[in-house]
Structure 1
Amino acid sequence: MEKYTYLLLNILTIALPFFWSFEKKIFFVRYWRGLFLGIAVMILVFVPWDVWFTSMQVWGFNERYITGIKIANLPIEEWLFFITVPYACTFLYETLNYYLPKSPLAGIQDKITAILIFVSFVLSIVFVDRIYTFTTFSLLSLFLIWHLLINRSNFLGQFYLLFVFVQIPFFFVNGALTGMFTDEPIVWYNNAENMGIRLITIPVDDVGYNMLMLLIVITVLEMFKVRILTGALKVT
């Protein structure tokens, strides 16, 4: 049964959010098109990145905990990760929007974005010789600059609040992947290519990686919503 560990983790991650998606108040299914479009856009970035880093042994997968089915040298479970985690987190984002429609961080979102850009840029420079750190925080800083200066996104305060909330489930999911609850990690990391700092078993770099992943998905979803509001799309 060990070989189904990563698969089971994916199922547990998405199970409750999926079934609650049909709940009448939030009715998350109305945003499925925008969500899966966002996931598709994110996958276009993250899967080639994943394939590249796996081939370079920046990280890898423990055969003990995967089924062995692979596409482009990535376990099928890793492909599912890029669906289940964004799905669950975006569901939480819409739940937050429903119960707290105005983010308490809305008034300072630009300041938070500027700080994140600065921190990400500094980390990418300091760790320019660590490919995971450099790539993650370079891309994150560039995407945040686009949001701050070009897109002028008004949902970032809510996104940052969500990101604080999801650190608890992230901690358990990433912890499970990095060996917090198993004899060996499901996903291993080469510490020579990251900051070398761990939150118990989780590389700190994963915080930036996860932020970028979710921000891409939610950005596309928010663009989808704008098209609905302007009448460009009809959702029933």
Structure 2
Amino acid sequence: MRGTLFIVAAPSGAGKSSIVNAVLARDPSIALSVSFTSRAPRPGERHAEHYHFVSAETFLEMIAAGDFFEHAYVHGDWKGTARQSVEPLLAQGRDVLLEIDWQGARQVRAKMPDAVGVFILPPSRKALEERMRARGQDSEETIARRLAAAREEMSHYGEFDYVIVNEHFDTAVNEMCAIFTASRLRRDVQVARHSRLLTALLTDGVEAPGSLF
């Protein structure tokens, strides 16, 4: 059976990457798709671990070649997910997580309506600004641009299946883990996963196989 595609989006500074990393540490069965970006690495970021860092020219060449599952121009830079980072893993039955923005999420949902979308909100706009500044990675100009764009980004929360308010980090991580667990227990997913068990349980004279769960 195919895996489930999870989409996680948030305005810059809402704590998306920290939450995602904590969830992946708890649930290694989920494969994180590492995005491509045309921006320069921030302090501490490593190529192929946090992003695939490429030039704007290379990114545009990849768009022209049809290499991207989704892509968008965000905060003055290109970001995108390569097809090879998603489609083969889903076909193998792996769950895949995309950490992208709302524009990319809209493209993905158009292609895969059954993808599960999660949007992360900050507890206040003041907290959002404080978190941006606490990172110490962006200039004042960049922070001002991201804050100006945050309201527009947050207005798209209604396009997602679940909303998490990241007021307390541990709570937010637990809530996202609960979403992943609940999604795996949906009826259609369980029917595909346990078709033999259901057949055995509902057929006269056939003993149900043990320990399938």
Q: Which has the larger radius of gyration?
A: 2
| TM band (smaller chain) | under 0.3
**Structure with higher strand content:** 2
TM-score between the two structures when normalised by the length of structure 2: 0.27
TM-score between the two structures when normalised by the length of structure 1: 0.25
**Structure with higher helix content:** 1
